[in-house]
Structure 1
Amino acid sequence: MSHSRFESIGAYLPSKRVTTEELVSQLQETPEFDLERITGVKERRFRDTTPENGEDSFALALKAVQDCLSRSQYAAEDLDVIISCSITRSKDRTKMYMEPSFAGAIARTLGAREDTISFDLSNACAGMMSGVYILDRMIRSGAVKRGIVVSGEAITPIAETAVNEISSKYDLQFASLTVGDSGAAVVLDESVDESDRIHYIELTTASEFSHLCLGMPSDKTAGVALYTDNRKMHNEARFLLWTDTQRNFMEEQGLTFKDEGFDYIIHHQFGAAAIPYMNAIAEREFGHPMPPDLNVIEKYGNTSSTSHFIVLHDQLSQQSIPTGSKVLMIPAASGVVGGFLSTTISSLKV
């Protein structure tokens, strides 16, 4: 069976920086905890909302695709598949679109072939990982040769809603203050070398936790809101969804975590305090130390569905990931979605 690889990567981050201190200073009630210390988020990027340069989900996605293709060996007309994975779906500055599809609009804007397969999917913060999962399977099956997975997240309106609505010292909207806007894209093609390959990707959903993180219209104003019960989300039962699933997968393959020899791990960027706890649980469950954690939460916050690829792009741009490194990527999303992706990176550059 064929395997896929990450052939190129692109990202776009708006220039406007907003600090956690700035957001907290706007709240009616000062929280009982240090939000910056607990989350690790010092600042995040906010989309440009000026009339002349207004940025929306589509604009962020398109800029990330253009950045990705600028360092790819492929042009838009070479792509067999375009998958758009945004949670937020703003286009033309303010309108929210469900149809026509973002992927189709991106294909037309880029000048992709008429027979290019294009579709949207949304799976909360595991959106891009889900897109990679599907494209990986399409390449493995021989149905296609190459494609691109993209997401543009203009998600900071939930932070703006939270600032306006939080009125108690503990509120289910506090997690909304950690998000940042971004775009990310990756091209996948067929791997011909074990040192440059997606070895496996698996996702799973545990619906019993689905009520703990809900995005919806606000129940107070006309804004869009995210309600997250962090106290119940960040516990051992939820984190075991990853370790149990990966351990079972490895046992079926006759592998141990130690055998895998991961050089780095990238978690979903949802909280600096929670990730060490996850790693401690994983060390206990796998019986082996976790590799160094790559993160950008301090400067970009939680960029939702793009987060793993914003980390990867950032660390590659700093040349912090040596050629031939084996990376484990761990999604965590509302739903609740867990899983794992194993990849060795050799040709991917920024």
Structure 2
Amino acid sequence: MPSITDTHTRIESLGTYLPSKVVSTDELIAQLDTDNPPPLEALTGVRERRVYDDSDAGYEDSFTLARHAIDDCLSRSRYTPSEIDVVISASITRTRGRGHYSMEPSFAAVLAEEIGAEHAVAFDIGNACAGMVTSIMLLDRMIRAGIARTGIVVSGEQITPIAATAVREISEKYDPQFASLSVGDAGACVLLDRAVDDADRIEYVDLMTSSSYAEFCIGGPSRTSQGLAMYTDNKSMHTEQRYLQGIVWYLDYLRERGSRIEAEQLDFIIHHQFSTRALDYINALLERESGLPAPESLTVLEKYGNTASTSHFVALHDHLKRGTITPGSTVLIVPSASGMVYGHMSVHISALGS
């Protein structure tokens, strides 16, 4: 058996699901009870987002979004559900039914049963908006160690209820719930197996946590009314010092591997989709620290918003469909999440289609 250092995994197939309902930023801002609304689109770049179906006939909870994403992923895969060894759910939101948060049994276990992955080991992982990349890192290690042959990582994010809370409660131009207005709902799923060549493989995936910033973004029950809310200290979150932690760690990580960023030949970079202005700043810092132009930055937040743990793969799938990412491309996926969590995942893409 090849050693773990000689083995790589690949993204064998990728699927997403986006609700059909579209809500523009102008529509959302118009609902605020303030004469001085925040300049949301100017600050974040979010023009519109998808919002779950709230009707009785077609209600879309977190579980439904995840299930649709799995179906889309499997429709492109050569594997059947019975051939899947591992199912990992990374959803932050865990709604199953209207207003019901489901903690047990695990989402992964129920999803595995529903799709017919009867032999799969199934478990949930929660790591905020870095949850899918965290789960991919673990599944990557499992496959490389020979513990599993195949596995799926899935997330369904019915996250816009925090925007509904923010609309009810925001009364000032700048408010701790401001970032909640930028979110959108989505599902995403990736299927991993062992790489068969260098053209399609995960070169590396790793993450770290800097707990000194853990209090800057907190989700939970609203402090003033019923409903879910997210409170973000934007002034403390969006600083050069914090952004540099992830950038410097990545450059140090490459040096420890005996590489440099210019040797990586990165074609594109996909950050967590939260603010175009912030992403431009991060890319400028990367250029300053590396002394090289940053890879082309791919975004979709202008039409989907911040879709939480699914955001990187919604962006990846969208740009594959557009043809932006051509065969032979290398994409650097950069997770960032409350905690604070930083990471990097380099993926070579050739056969992975839309």
Whether TM-score is above 0.5 comes out as yes
Q: Give the 3-state SS of the residue equivalent to 1:211 in structure 2.
A: helix
Q: Which residue of 2 aligns with 1:95?
A: 100
Q: Which residue of 2 aligns with 1:292?
A: 296
Q: Which amino acid aligns with 1:88?
A: T
Q: Which amino acid aligns with 2:133?
A: M
Q: Give the 3-state SS of the residue equivalent to 2:302 in structure 1.
A: helix
- CA displacement 1:201-236 (0-9 Å, x = unmatched): 110000111100000100100110000111111111
Q: Which runs of no fewer than 5 residues in structure 1 stay unpaired?
A: none
Q: Which amino acid aligns with 1:332?
A: S
Task: Pick which of 242-251 and 142-151 moved more.
Answer: 242-251
User: Aligned-pair distance for 1:238?
Assistant: 1.1
Report the Cα distance in structure 1 between the residues aligned to 2:45 and 2:145, rounded to whole angstroms: 41
Taking structure 1 as reference, are residues 162 and 226 closer, same or farther at Cα in structure 2, changes over 3 Å only? same
Q: What is the correspondence of 1:208-223 to structure 2 with a 5 Å cutoff? A: 208-223=212-227
Q: Which amino acid aligns with 1:108?
A: E
Q: Which residue of 2 aligns with 1:164?
A: 168
- CA displacement 1:158-182 (0-9 Å, x = unmatched): 0000000001121000100000000
User: Aligned-pair distance for 1:183?
Assistant: 0.2
User: Aligned-pair distance for 1:345?
Assistant: 0.5
User: Aligned-pair distance for 1:92?
Assistant: 2.1
Pick from 241, 252, 264: which aligns with 2:256? 252
Pick from 146, 152, 159: which aligns with 2:150? 146
Q: Which residue of 2 aligns with 1:241?
A: 245
User: Aligned-pair distance for 1:30?
Assistant: 4.2
Report the Cα distance in structure 1 between the residues aligned to 2:172 and 2:323, rounded to whole angstroms: 43
Q: Does 1:201 align with 2:205?
A: yes
Aligned length in residues: 349
Q: Is the 8 A contact 1:9 1:313 kept in 2?
A: yes
- CA displacement 1:292-341 (0-9 Å, x = unmatched): 11110100000000000000110111121110100001111000000100
Q: Give the 3-state SS of the residue equivalent to 2:337 in structure 1.
A: coil
Q: Which amino acid aligns with 2:74?
A: L
Report the Cα distance in structure 1 between the residues aligned to 2:249 and 2:282, rounded to whole angstroms: 14
Q: What is the correspondence of 1:103-118 to structure 2 with a 5 Å cutoff? A: 103-113=108-118, 115-118=119-122
User: Aligned-pair distance for 1:93?
Assistant: 2.7
Report the Cα distance in structure 2 between the residues aligned to 1:75 and 1:141, rounded to whole angstroms: 22
Report the Cα distance in structure 1 between the residues aligned to 2:286 and 2:249, rounded to whole angstroms: 12
Taking structure 1 as reference, are residues 31 and 131 closer, same or farther at Cα in structure 2, changes over 3 Å only? farther
Q: Is the 8 A contact 2:37 2:172 kept in 1?
A: no
Q: Is the 8 A contact 1:242 1:330 kept in 2?
A: no
Taking structure 1 as reference, are residues 224 and 195 closer, same or farther at Cα in structure 2, changes over 3 Å only? same
Q: Which residue of 2 aligns with 1:51?
A: 56
Pick from 67, 81, 87: which aligns with 1:82? 87
Report the Cα distance in structure 2 between the residues aligned to 1:273 and 1:33, rounded to whole angstroms: 15
User: Aligned-pair distance for 1:247?
Assistant: 1.1
Q: Is the 8 A contact 1:6 1:348 kept in 2?
A: yes
Root mean square deviation, CA, Å = 0.9
Q: Which amino acid aligns with 1:99?
A: E
User: Aligned-pair distance for 1:241?
Assistant: 1.9
Q: Is the 8 A contact 1:24 1:30 kept in 2?
A: no
Task: Pick which of 60-69 and 20-29 moved more.
Answer: 20-29
Report the Cα distance in structure 1 between the residues aligned to 2:150 and 2:98, rounded to whole angstroms: 31
Moved over 3 A (4+): 30-33
Q: Give the 3-state SS of the residue equivalent to 2:202 in structure 1.
A: strand
Q: Which runs of no fewer than 5 residues in structure 2 stay unpaired?
A: 1-5
Report the Cα distance in structure 2 between the residues aligned to 1:136 and 1:31, rounded to whole angstroms: 48
Q: Is the 8 A contact 2:207 2:343 kept in 1?
A: yes
Pick from 26, 41, 50: which aligns with 2:46? 41
User: Aligned-pair distance for 1:116?
Assistant: 1.0
User: Aligned-pair distance for 1:33?
Assistant: 4.4
Pick from 294, 304, 308: which aligns with 1:304? 308
Q: Which residue of 1 aligns with 2:22?
A: 17
Q: Which residue of 1 aligns with 2:139?
A: 135
Report the Cα distance in structure 2 between the residues aligned to 1:80 and 1:319, rounded to whole angstroms: 31
Report the Cα distance in structure 2 between the residues aligned to 1:93 and 1:77, rounded to whole angstroms: 30
Report the Cα distance in structure 1 between the residues aligned to 2:7 and 2:295, rounded to whole angstroms: 28
Pick from 2, 5, 21: which aligns with 2:10? 5
Report the Cα distance in structure 1 between the residues aligned to 2:235 and 2:116, rounded to whole angstroms: 47
Q: Which amino acid aligns with 1:231?
A: K
User: Aligned-pair distance for 1:243?
Assistant: 1.0
Pick from 227, 233, 236: which aligns with 2:231? 227
Q: Does 1:278 align with 2:262?
A: no
Q: TM-score, normalised by structure 2?
A: 0.97
Q: Give the 3-state SS of the residue equivalent to 2:296 in structure 1.
A: coil
Taking structure 1 as reference, are residues 288 and 77 closer, same or farther at Cα in structure 2, changes over 3 Å only? same
Report the Cα distance in structure 2 between the residues aligned to 1:285 and 1:260, rounded to whole angstroms: 16
Pick from 247, 266, 280: which aligns with 1:262? 266
Report the Cα distance in structure 1 between the residues aligned to 2:23 and 2:38, rounded to whole angstroms: 20
- CA displacement 1:56-79 (0-9 Å, x = unmatched): 000000000000000100011110
Q: Identity rate of aligned residues, in percent?
A: 52
User: Aligned-pair distance for 1:94?
Assistant: 2.4
Q: Is the 8 A contact 1:14 1:182 kept in 2?
A: yes
